[in-house]
């Protein structure tokens, strides 16, 4: 007997992947990304690769420096609050700061967004943040990838990663090798947690303290979400002018691992950076997290930046001039430590 049951064809949309939504997102991305393009960009968004023609005429021995990173579980806060145009800025600024420590200037940026259900408005918010930060850093958002994977991410969830390429003249690479005994460590303030420590911060704020994102916290002067989602600072505009005027011996971007886990990456063997924790004001958000979560005093400095987002190491005879140059631009700068002989790369002092 013949089976007359009507059979329907399986489509990609039936599995949770919406090609039409993806096309809409791409159109939105094109408009936002093109705002960041410069004369070195040879193609638009949508090609299989981004075309970039570098101009290295001013460099004697150009060295390309690249880095990739993400914003970690800070994206969960973005999902909780449905505010997505700030984590894109976080990502770009983080990557710019990572290559800045070696003296590199950014050339171009690419992003990756993986999501469970592609919502064009969410993607547009993310790329808006990316383009704002790329414009500020004077580099194009050259391309990227948006992938819809419902089997990997839950409803509304996504991950965000970025890839940056920069350049520096070989003779001007800053790698910490010239750091010497007696050098001074100057710290630039952070704007909160930046992009690290959010798994612990979310547990304290929402699980232990029982707060909701829109709850106002008197000691912070804002909602807990506003405090935690403060945009990661970009230190390029502050540091770039210093590189041509002073002999910067070393720099560190204070990310995951805090000051001990990042400043140690540029300290030569046999030298130790003694950092005085009382030499700068700790922002209220860290005191709040420490108190509410009863966080171990040692561990908190290994998890968060604790108010210092970027460190420069300079010779003692230039320290005052560098600090004055930074503060002349209405920026705060703290003399947070010095370099001595020692077996531990970094020591935190009370």
What integer pLDDT is reported at residue 4 of this predicted model? 57
User: Do 140 and 240 have their domain in common?
Assistant: no
- Domain-embedded: residue 179: no
What integer pLDDT is reported at residue 24 of this predicted model? 59
Task: Print the domain residue range for 164.
Answer: 15-172
Query: Mean of the pLDDT values across residues 221-250?
Result: 97
Beta bridge partners of 64: 167
Tell me the per-residue pLDDT of 285-306, one tens digit each, with 9 for 90 and over: 999 999 999 999 999 999 999 9
Helix (H), strand (E), coil (C) string for the chain: CCCCCCCCCCCHHHHCCCHHHHHHHHHHHHHHHHCCCCCCECCCCCCCCCCECCCCCCCCCEEEEEEEEECCCHHHHHHHHCCCCCHHHHHHHHHHHHHHCCCCEEEEEEEEEEECCCCHHHHHHHHHHHHHHHHHCCCCEEEEEEEECCCCCCCCCEEEEEEEEEEEEHHHCCCCCCCCCCCEEEEEECCCCCCCCHHHHHHHHHHHCCCCCCCEECCCCEEHHHHHCCCCCCCHHHHHHHHCCCCEEEEEECCCCHHHHHHHHHCCCCEEEEEEHHHCCCCHHHHHHHHHHCCCHHHHHHHCCCCEEEEEEECCCCHHHHHHHHHHCCCCCEEEEEEEECCCCEEEEC
Local confidence band at 190 (pLDDT 50, 70, 90 cut-offs): very high
Asked if the model's pLDDT at residue 29 lies above 70, the reply is: no
User: Do 23 and 109 have their domain in common?
Assistant: yes
Asked if the model's pLDDT at residue 15 lies above 80, the reply is: no
- pTM of the complete model: 0.91
Tell me the per-residue pLDDT of 17-27, one tens digit each, with 9 for 90 and over: 555 555 555 66
Query: Among 140, 172, 204, where does a domain finish?
Result: 172
Query: Mean of the pLDDT values across residues 265-273?
Result: 96
Query: Which has more confidence, 10 or 109?
Result: 109
Asked if the model's pLDDT at residue 174 lies above 80, the reply is: yes
CA distance 269 to 342: 9
Local confidence band at 72 (pLDDT 50, 70, 90 cut-offs): very high
- CATH (domain of 123): 3.30.1330.10
User: Do 95 and 197 have their domain in common?
Assistant: no
Averaged pLDDT of the chain: 91
Q: What percent of the chain has pLDDT over 90?
A: 77
Local confidence band at 32 (pLDDT 50, 70, 90 cut-offs): confident
Asked if the model's pLDDT at residue 80 lies above 60, the reply is: yes
Asked if the model's pLDDT at residue 5 lies above 60, the reply is: no
Number of independent structural domains in the chain: 2
Local confidence band at 39 (pLDDT 50, 70, 90 cut-offs): confident
- CATH (domain of 257): 3.90.650.10
What integer pLDDT is reported at residue 43 of this predicted model? 75
Query: Among 172, 199, 214, where does a domain finish?
Result: 172
Q: What is the layout of strands, in order, in the sheet containing 158-169? A: 62-70, 158-169, 105-115, 141-148
What integer pLDDT is reported at residue 36 of this predicted model? 85
Query: Among 145, 172, 199, where does a domain finish?
Result: 172
Place of tokens 């041509």: 244
What integer pLDDT is reported at residue 118 of this predicted model? 82
């Amino acid at each position: 007997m013949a089976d007359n049951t009507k059979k329907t064809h399986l489509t990609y949309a039936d599995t949770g992947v919406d090609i039409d939504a993806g096309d809409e997102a791409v159109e939105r991305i094109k408009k936002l990304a093109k705002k960041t393009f410069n004369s070195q960009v040879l193609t638009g968004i949508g090609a299989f690769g981004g075309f970039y023609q570098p101009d290295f005429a001013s460099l004697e021995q150009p060295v390309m420096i690249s880095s990739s990173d993400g914003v970690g579980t800070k994206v969960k806060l973005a999902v909780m609050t449905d505010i997505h145009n700030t984590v894109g800025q976080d990502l770009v600024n983080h990557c710019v700061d990572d290559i800045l420590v070696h003296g590199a200037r950014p050339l171009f940026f690419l992003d990756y967004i993986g999501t469970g259900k592609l919502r064009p408005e969410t993607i547009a918010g993310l790329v808006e943040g990316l383009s704002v930060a790329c414009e500020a850093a004077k580099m194009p958002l050259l391309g990227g990838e948006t992938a819809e994977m419902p089997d990997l991410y839950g409803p509304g969830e996504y991950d965000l990663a970025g890839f940056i390429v920069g350049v520096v003249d070989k003779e001007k690479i800053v790698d910490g090798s010239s750091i010497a005994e007696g050098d001074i460590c100057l710290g630039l303030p952070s704007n909160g947690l930046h992009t690290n420590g959010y798994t612990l911060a979310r547990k304290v704020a929402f699980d232990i303290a029982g707060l909701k994102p829109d709850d106002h916290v008197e000691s912070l002067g804002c909602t807990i979400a506003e405090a935690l989602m403060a945009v990661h600072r970009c230190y390029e505009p502050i540091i770039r002018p210093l590189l041509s005027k002073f002999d910067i011996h070393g720099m560190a971007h204070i990310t995951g691992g805090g000051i001990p886990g990042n400043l140690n990456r540029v300290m030569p063997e046999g030298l130790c950076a003694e950092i005085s924790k009382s030499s700068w004001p700790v922002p209220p958000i860290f005191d709040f997290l420490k108190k509410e979560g009863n966080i171990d005093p040692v561990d908190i400095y290994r998890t968060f930046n604790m108010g210092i987002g970027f460190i420069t190491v300079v010779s003692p005879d230039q320290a005052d001039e560098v600090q004055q140059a930074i503060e002349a631009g209405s920026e705060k700068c703290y003399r947070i430590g010095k370099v001595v002989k020692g077996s531990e790369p970094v020591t935190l002092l009370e």
